[in-house]
Chain A
Amino acid sequence: MVNDLMRAVMFLLALTMASPVLAEAEGDHGRNVFKKCKSCHQIGEGATDRVGPNLNGVVGRAAGAIEGFRYSKAMIAAAKDGLVWNSDTLDAYLTKPRDYMKGTRMSFSGLKDARDRSTVIAYLAEASTTAASNRDPDVAPEILTLEGDPDYGEYLSGECVTCHRSDGGDEGIPSITGWDNAAFVTALHAYKNKHRDHPVMQLATSRLNDEEIAGLAAFFAIQQQE
């Protein structure tokens, strides 16, 4: 593990020494690539588990090691086999997650571009300690625990599934089926209060009230759960 961390650090150092301009550009690139991960994963100060586990210290961490997180059977099996996340295994996993680990619950199609992968892994290695808090604002407990009506959610979901495929496909647009209730509610409120910056999602959530968000969360939570 130490070796892997060292490798990531050395990699960054090497870049910095070789060309400060390039290093900065690569760092920016990694941070930009991480935007694709942000709808499900948090990293940095105060990061918590959401749809995906928090990624603090992930480079060098054993797979499936966050206590209390609901991993897929595939991830639990890989953890038993001793899988450790280092720059090589992360590179292989992120290329096409479902090919590397059949049955993973991470519904992400992958990063085809090698530079995207190497820079985002470098970002992961450093962001645990340096990233400013990027977690979504907490939602008031009474809103978070509001019991949603999945039937109402199903009606409202008509607007979502024009883009987010109801079969869970995620090419170009993330899948929203089978999400944890609290994660879903927190994410939608983050768009609604413009903490998250996607204009289509800001528009869609701008006219959803607390009950409607709860209904959608209830509906999507029971879709396609393994």
Chain B
Amino acid sequence: MTKLDRRTFLAASAAGATALSAPMVMGAAHAKPRVVVVGGGAGGATAARYIAKDSKGAIDVTLIEPSRRYYTCFFSNLVIGDFVDFESTGHSYAALASEYGINVVHDMAIGVDRDAKSVTVASGMKFDYDRLILSPGIDFVSGSVNGWNLNDQDVMPHAYKGGTQAALLKAQIEAMPEGGTYVMVAPPNPYRCPPGPYERISMVAHKLKNENPTAKIIIADPKPKFSKMGLFTAGWEDHYAGMVEWLGPDFGGGNVTVDPGSMMVDIDGEEVKADVCNVIPAMKAGRIAEIAGVTNDKGWAPVNAADMSSKMDANIHVLGDSSQQGDMPKSGFSANSQAKVCAMAVRGALTGSKVFPAKFSNTCWSLIARDDGVKVGANYEATDEKIAKTDGFISQNGEDAATRKATYEESIGWYAGITSDMFG
């Protein structure tokens, strides 16, 4: 906290006054309860905004996020397919700071001291908290794809965190030779955005159909089935017949070695020369969750469903992709939904405001081709054991064109809705 802005100053002087008048009662010399949020995506930005908005200044909120401009991972596939402009997926934190009074710190959280209840950032500053909310998204499991490590991401991009990686993958596709080959190494469960890799295949196929129609797409997949599988495979048949080849584990899709130097991909002993190789490795919770010691041996952070609090530390909450919560898919919609439940619980704990029963929901839209959108959604509730699915729906094959178009248009509306819910 190098900057002493007016809010911080007021808070500090109030703390001083309290400390003078009642030093024995106030163990720590601060006036307001403090919440530190790490990660400014669908979970973290939403949680910070709701706590600040609904506590009306009664809680001091700090949001720690390295990026000054945040590019959403959701809709990055539509950037690749030329349906939305890259810049339109970028968002600023200006309103969270100016309109909601959130202390937005653009730095990387690198340490959590759970006894002292403080977070350290790369520049060395420390932020004390009464409650810590971790929403760091995902990191990749090193060594999960033979021959690939994070240093190879500029040659074989994952493009699974939005931003420059998505832009790089798109540029590589545009540079493919005529009739070239695009290979995707698909991730094992669980991973962020279950339909994401397959929506990506749809968007790459859409682009290639227009620009490079003799090109081929190969998916090497360790999973025997995937999200919206029936919808995607029927859509690929309809729109991109003969272009997409999906190799599940029965065809060696789980036995892959890549060589970023030569761009060769070995799928179960068969060598393929790739022009673009999109490697989406196995995933785990964002690193700060591991540093904080709230992850399990699977690399995810187990949480209590009612308030998203860590099962390892009641003062830490974990949201979104990093959390292991039960039945919800790892998605931006889920993280946003969990953030509101968590914000209400944290406010209740720190200021005594009313806490209502937790309700969660999720819908994931995917685009298969122009005006051909599909969706899957569900309701969830908190049980003692986990976040449990109560009811759901999925788009059907054979829906009429108007329904599919309306579904796509709805996804555009959802994007506008959730990003304004996150960033104000």
> Which A residues form the contact surface with B (CB < 8 A)?
32, 35, 152, 155, 158-159, 161-167, 169-173, 199-200, 202-204, 206-207
6 cross-chain pairs, A with B, having the tightest CB-CB distances, nearest first: A172-B413, A173-B413, A172-B412, A158-B340, A199-B393, A163-B417
| Interface residue? B377 (CB, 8 A) | yes
| Interface residue? B410 (CB, 8 A) | yes
Collect the chain B residues with CB atoms within 8 Å of residue A166's CB: 420-421
Q: Please tell me if the beta carbons of B363 and A200 are within 8 angstroms of each other in the complex.
A: yes
Q: How far is the CA of A204 from the CA of B359 in the complex (A)?
A: 10
Sampled A-B contacts (22; CB under 8 Å)? A32-B402, A35-B402, A155-B344, A155-B356, A158-B340, A162-B333, A163-B410, A163-B418, A165-B416, A167-B420, A169-B417, A169-B420, A171-B413, A172-B412, A173-B416, A199-B375, A203-B361, A203-B377, A204-B379, A206-B379, A206-B391, A207-B390
Count how many pairs of residues, one from A and one from B, have CB atoms less than 8 Å apart in the complex.
78
| Interface residue? B378 (CB, 8 A) | yes
Collect the chain A residues with CB atoms within 8 Å of residue B336's CB: 162
Collect the chain A residues with CB atoms within 8 Å of residue B421's CB: 161-162, 165-166
Collect the chain B residues with CB atoms within 8 Å of residue A169's CB: 416-417, 420
Q: Please tell me if the beta carbons of B361 and A172 are within 8 angstroms of each other in the complex.
A: no
Q: Please tell me if the beta carbons of A172 and B416 are within 8 angstroms of each other in the complex.
A: yes
Residue of B nearest to A206 (CB): B391
| Interface residue? B337 (CB, 8 A) | yes
| Interface residue? B178 (CB, 8 A) | no
Q: How far is the CA of A101 from the CA of B412 in the complex (A)?
A: 25
Q: Which of A162, A170, A206 contacts B414 (CB 8 A)?
A: A162
Collect the chain A residues with CB atoms within 8 Å of residue B379's CB: 203-204, 206-207
Interface of A is mostly: loop
Q: Which residue, of A162, A170, A199, A203, has the highest number of chain B Cβ atoms within 10 A? A: A162
Collect the chain B residues with CB atoms within 8 Å of residue A152's CB: 356
Q: How far is the CA of A202 from the CA of B378 in the complex (A)?
A: 11
Collect the chain A residues with CB atoms within 8 Å of residue B340's CB: 158-159
Residue of A nearest to B400 (CB): A32
Collect the chain B residues with CB atoms within 8 Å of residue A206's CB: 379, 391
20 more contacts with CB within 8 A, not counting A171-B416, A200-B410, are A159-B337, A159-B359, A163-B363, A163-B410, A163-B418, A164-B417, A165-B416, A165-B420, A165-B421, A169-B416, A171-B412, A171-B413, A172-B409, A172-B413, A173-B413, A173-B417, A200-B363, A203-B378, A204-B379, A206-B391
Given contact pairs A32-B402, A172-B413, A206-B379, A162 touches B393 in the complex (Cβ within 8 A): no
Residue of A nearest to B363 (CB): A200
Given contact pairs A161-B421, A162-B333, A173-B410, A200 touches B416 in the complex (Cβ within 8 A): no
Collect the chain B residues with CB atoms within 8 Å of residue A204's CB: 361, 379
Collect the chain A residues with CB atoms within 8 Å of residue B416's CB: 165, 169, 171-173
Q: How far is the CA of A161 from the CA of B417 in the complex (A)?
A: 6
